[in-house]
Every structure is written in structure tokens, then in C-alpha cells.
Amino acid sequence: MTTLPMLLRALCLPTFAREYLVVAAHAAREGLSHEAYLQTLATQEASDRAARRVERLIVEAKLPRGKSLATFDLARLPPKVRTAVATLREGTFLDQATNVLVFGNPGTGKTHLVCGLGLELVRQRRPVLFAPTFQLVQRLLAAKRDLRLAAELKRLDRFDALILDDLGYVQQDREEMEVLFTLLAERYERRSVLITSNLVFSKWDQIFKDPMTTAAAVDRVVHHAVILELPIPSYRAQAAKARSQASSGAATPDMKSMGDTTVNDE
């Protein structure tokens, strides 16, 4: 004879199976109705299911550990950028397939910032994928060689947000340029991309080679986009300066606060 726990697990209701006796005892003590009993169990099942989905999405997103907005020193950002970040973390920009472009010199926290935003989106149960641009381009090249580029693009399409880190470090091969442009064109006005780069738009011809292709790529990513510029000092340079001052015996800032800021390094 099939037991109730077995039936509940077969129906993919693990929280029901685990908690129904405990909740039944509580319902009996409190004199709850059958409807209230089921409501309590259903609420617990829905809550646990949402938590499990977030856990799966965090693993799937491949976000670097430790890079959240909670560990990012937002006070270092210009006021307009802080305001934009506060809006972006709500996640509504994904519904309009709006892109986010983050520009700054090495060490200014570009990667940390977009990863922090990515984690906020995952917590809202939005599928996100983080990848260094050169790695993703190599994956697309391999798919193209195996005649499965369309399938790979379809797989990437299920992510509401695709984080392309360090766009300027693509190896500048024509084949790489072509698959990168194909990816951006495929997601245009359909899915969001979050891009970090230390190359301003006027230097994107170093990536896309051909002026027409460069113009077309820029046009697609900026048409619906929020652009964040980080004109701030390098976290790594500041940390190195602090270490140098400490070793020479000079007066230094509080080292605990310096340790907090170094986690913003890219």
C-alpha cells in the first residue's frame, strides 16, 4: 500500500511530506480548520520551493563568491551612479531587456558591482549567468565549429541577464568578433546583457575590427541601456599604498576598513 509520504514525494511536495504530522498536531491543539491546516502546509511548501529555486539559480549563475552589494563600498561611487544602482537592484530593467554597461579603469570594482547586481537578481528568482567574455566567446566558437551555435545561443537565451565581464580582453580574432556580435544581436531587445569594460566606445574597434560592425554593436548595446562610469581610484592601488605606509611606519587609515574595501577588487 502506498503511504501518504510516498504520495506527497511523488507529487513533488517534500515539505508537505516532512511537515504534515507536525502541522497536524499544531492544528489539533489550536483547533484549526482543514482549510487553515492545508493553507499552512501550502505556504511552507511554496516558501521552501522558492528558497530551493534561488539556491539552484545561484549555483547556475556561476557568480564569483564574496562579490555582493553588501560587501561593495557604494559610498565610493558618484551620487548619480549610486542612484542608478539603487534602481537597477530592483530588477525591473530586465522586463524591458535593458542593458547595463559599466566602464572604469582596472581595479575600480566593475566586476564586483555587476556581480552584486547579478546576485540581487538571482534572489528575485531571475536566471543570471556570469562569464568572462573571452571564455564565453571560446564556448561560442566551439559550438560554431560543431555546427551547434544556434543551440548554444538558445541555451543562453533562457538567462534573463547575461554578465559579460571584461569585454576588452577578447583576443581580437575575426572569428571571435563574429560570434560575439552574433550573441549581442541575438539578445538585442529580447534579453539583457551586463557588460564591464575598460575600453570606452571609441576604442571598441579594437574588438570588432571593422568600423561598420563596431558601430552596429555599439548601437545595439546602447539603444536600451544604463551606462555607469566609475571615475574612482583603484581599490588595489589604494590597498598597496596602505600596505606600503604600514610597512614604513607611517600613519595609516584603520586597517579593518581597508580590509573591507579590498574585497571590491576585480
Q: What is the DSSP string of 133-181?
A: HHHHHHHHHHHHHTT-HHHHHHHHHT-SEEEEE-GGGS---HHHHHHHH
pLDDT score, position 261: 33
pTM of the model: 0.80
Determine the pLDDT at residue 262. Answer: 35
Label residue 144 exposed, middle or buried (CB < 10 Å: 0-12, 13-18, 19+).
middle
Angle between helices 34-61 and 110-123 (to 10 degrees): 160
pLDDT tens, the chain, 266 aa long: 668 888 888 888 899 889 989 999 999 998 989 999 999 999 998 988 888 998 999 999 999 999 999 999 999 999 999 999 999 999 999 999 999 999 999 999 999 999 999 999 999 999 999 999 999 999 999 999 999 999 999 999 999 999 999 998 876 688 889 999 999 999 999 999 999 999 999 889 888 888 899 999 999 999 999 999 999 888 766 666 667 677 776 554 554 443 443 334 44
Residues facing 131 on adjacent strands: 164
Amino acid 258: pLDDT: 37
| CA angle, residues 109, 112, 117, in degrees to nearest 5 | 125
Report pLDDT for 255: 40
The candidate with the shortest Cα–Cα distance to 233, out of 197, 261, 191, 200, is 261
Q: How far apart are CA 114 and CA 39, in angstroms?
A: 39
